[in-house]
Chain A
Amino acid sequence: MINLFVDIQKASDEHLMAQAAKGNSRAFAIIYDRYAGKMQWYFLRMLGKDAELARDFTQDLFVKLAEKPHLFDISKKFSTWIYTVAHNMCKNEYRKQSVRHHIPGDDYGVDRKVSGDNDKDLEMHVDKNTFEKMLEIELNLLDENHRTAFLLRYKEEMSIKEIAEVMGTSEGTVKSRLFYTVKKLSEKLKAFEYN
């Protein structure tokens, strides 16, 4: 027997956006629930862990979406599209001001004398969350293009093609950026690996 009534919660993003464009607030609310957290996390990572700024960016993004839901091209994949918008917002922000690379001090429990990228100068006290904290630091030190590619790949599990579409670049460029980022991070963080 055909199930005629499909749960709206299981509807695709594209279908929900099509309904939102017609004024279906319930559909839009579901889209918000699905992506608000992800976008806020993305902005948090991309904007130097500035929580307030990340919240503002998330609000701006969804307000724009609420005002003009019909701008979404339903022939595209929604997740790719929304990250493209978010990426462009971050790029504009970078142009406006240089984003401070938030390098925490002693409160992270790490004594670190940074001298360029020289690992030999690094002294540390390893605590429970050191790896995560250092990951945050190193990500903030990355170029925004490398950071974007890395986050989209290993957090959102996007394909190379989708990442290229978000960033407006070629797949080859995305591949090389990813490889370089993983390699560099592993070098920086190998001291904090579990034994």
Chain B
Amino acid sequence: MKALKSFNRWKNDSLANKLFDIANYSVLFLAVAVCLYPLYYIVLVSFSSQVTGVVLLPVKPTLDPYKMILGDSKIWIGYGNTIFYAGVGTLANLAVTLPCAYALSRKDFVGRGLVTGFIMVTMFISGGLVPSYLNISNLGLINTRLVIILVGLTSAYNIVVSRTFFASTIPSELLEAAKIDGCGNFNFFVRVVLPLSKPIMAVMALYFGVARWNSYFTEMIYLNDIDKYPLTLFLRRLLSSIDELQALIMQGMIDDVGGALASMQLATVMQYVLIVVSTVPMMIVYPFMQKYFAKGVMIGSVKG
């Protein structure tokens, strides 16, 4: 009914407006197509037997790559590891970031400026990868799941955003009232601040969760056992194996070129399958969390 009314209104509109609307919608449709087609292409190729010739429909459709990927125990191990690192890591991130941010938002915190300064410095200066690696190695954390949780446990930027939220959302009068009733700092944080901070908790959980889900570099550097690898590292291995084989073929270092080409073709299709498989959970979760993404952009801003 509403659509019909809108259409009737549009029909009675002036010609200039109609033309503008047509042009506008055409450009927007083009923009949507340009954005969506790559995703559609990935899904198409994942159901095809080859990469070349795929445009709008799968070429020689087959489920064999999906069967290979989903039948490979390494993929399920990777899935499990990714869920573990994302889940436990996000909880750990929240457990560290929110209390720190709240403490820094309190005006009565002695040394607040100094601590904030220390944290801010890390946003601009870093020791680098080698000292970090040596540090982790000397702590005996190489090749442990704990190192994945600990590295990246805090983010100075997220602490600052959270601090701003707490400073602007939690009024000091609330604290005074709670203190009058005999509430201590910890109880106030747990019983009053956290329930009021659901928006920032959702935003931070989303930011940390997505970052951890997609993370591969830390895992590549600090993990040795394939049983601890997340899904992203398997995808990376597949991608680099294609490049390696291609380089060897180009250098003429492989006798069975046909076999190598077939291997590469298979690996190329498998990489698309792996992309689909690894992004499906995020694609399912995202529509429910979309509003928090949008909120997150402004949530740490200073309110007037």
Q: Is B one of A's binding partners?
A: no
